[in-house]
Amino acid sequence: MNLADLNKIALAMVAPGKGILAADESSGTIKKRFDAINVESTEQSRRDYREMLFRSGEAMRQYISGVILYDETIWQDAADGTPLVRLIEQSGAIPGIKVDEGTQALPGCPGELVTSGLDRLAERLKKYYERGARFAKWRAVIDIGEHLPSMTAIHVNAHALARYAALCQAAQIVPIVEPEVLMDGSHDIDRCYDVTQRVLNKTFQELRVQRVALEGMILKPNMVISGKKNAKQASVEEVAEKTIRMLKACVPAAVPGIAFLSGGQSDEDASAHLSAMNGIGNLPWQLTFSYGRALQAAPQKAWSGKAENVVAGQRAFTHRARMNSLASRGEWKADLEKKAA
């Protein structure tokens, strides 16, 4: 492991004003997205959509530091025969790859999941590196309920994240460590704070046990936020203050950056929360975005599977990327959204 090179890539992934495009939806997930815009999900339509994003010159050059790809996508070529990974590299962004293989039921823990994919991961990482991937992503899913999460679910998912991260660094690939506490429930923001703190503390404990070099990784956590079904939604200021307080208590300063997931937030909420956090200032790590839906919902709708809408789709993608770039600097304002409308 060459830690200096891993650190260099990690720092580039969280470069000021830039963030990560999560274009790693599984075939099942992107089918749901395409169903919503009445587009048939085929290998070609998925390729055409992602090629549209990767050829969005201004967005990719100015606002996107890296792209997380799905296994299908990393092996695909653009319509003109150029590998999609080359399009990403030509824009100045870094290709990455989702390496977990989804979730399965956790034995003995009803309603809880564990992420799979460690088997043969070392061999897969070698092939992904040869294809051009320089970072990877593994997502653990933690749900909040009346009796959830269990310590078992927190422990096994943190352990798997750490094993994955160690294997990545051995393969000279920067791991994005993504422990996601879901925002789907009726819990309040303080319950989210408590659970997220427990999850992150256990994750970093396991990372230390597995001898993962913190300087060569990126953390991709949820924000501390009210559950979607809670009648009282915390303000932007409260989300920012509590998220930063929790991260300062859990995340070592050696970690180069934190790239938040959007977790089902609206486009504007995801930008507003990130901007408010960066507005607090005096942070030991770079704070940026690693958004999927909050970057792609608008361009998907504008594109709607039609070649004549590619420019409109790219315009929508560029706008959302710019808004989140401003948020990563603490400079986003709601009236900027209105001006673009």
Catalytic residue selected from 178, 202, 206, 242? 178
Asked if pLDDT for residue 20 goes beyond 90, the answer is yes
What pLDDT score does 338 carry?
Answer: 79
pLDDT at 341: 56
Domain residues for the domain of 174 are 3-340
Residue 340 has pLDDT above 70, yes or no: no
| Nearest Cα to Cα of residue 313 among 120, 111, 52 | 52
What pLDDT digit, counting tens, does each position of 205-248 carry? 999 999 999 999 999 999 999 999 999 999 999 999 999 999 99
Strand locations in 82-133 (E): 94-98, 103-105, 113-115
- pLDDT tops 90 at residue 339: no
The encoded tokens of residue 231 equal 């009648």
Mean pLDDT of the chain: 97
**Cα 304 from Cα 137, distance rounded (Å):** 28
pLDDT one-digit tens code per residue, 252-310: 999 999 999 999 999 999 999 999 999 999 999 999 999 999 999 999 999 999 999 99
DSSP-based helix, strand, coil % in the chain, nearest 5? 50, 15, 35
Q: Which DSSP string do the residues of 11-33 spell out, in sequence order?
A: HHHT-TT-EEEEE---HHHHHHH
- How many domains, in total, are found in the chain? 1
Q: How far apart are CA 83 and CA 24, in angstroms?
A: 16
Predicted local confidence at residue 118, as pLDDT: 98
Dist. CA 224–CA 195, nearest whole Å: 9
Over its C-alpha atoms, the chain yields an Rg (Å, rounded) of 19
- Look up the CATH number of the domain holding residue 127: 3.20.20.70
The Cα–Cα gap between 294 and 79 comes to 26
Q: What is the pLDDT of residue 144?
A: 98
Segment 167-202, tens digit of pLDDT:
999 999 999 999 999 999 999 999 999 999 999 999
> Do the Cβ atoms of 180 and 261 come closer than 8 Å?
yes
Q: Once rounded to an integer, what is the mean pLDDT over residues 15-36?
A: 96
pLDDT at 206: 98
Q: What is the pLDDT of residues 81-130, one digit of tens each?
A: 999 999 999 999 999 999 999 999 999 999 999 999 999 999 999 999 99
pLDDT of residue 244: 98
Dihedral (CA of 212, 67, 237, 16) sign: positive
Q: CA separation (Å) from 279 to 196, 244, 256?
A: 22, 11, 18
pLDDT at 327 over 60: yes
* Catalytic annotation present for 101: no
- For residues 113 and 103, the answer to whether their CB atoms sit within 8 Å is yes
Q: What is the mean pLDDT of residues 133-158?
A: 97
Q: Across residues 327-332, what is the average pLDDT?
A: 98
pLDDT tens across 66-84, in order? Answer: 999 999 999 999 999 999 9
CA dist 10 and 13 (Å) reads 5
Structure token pair of residue 82: 């150029």
Catalytic residue among 137, 202, 220, 242: 220
Task: Using the structure block, give the residue that is written with the tokens 């994005």.
Answer: 176
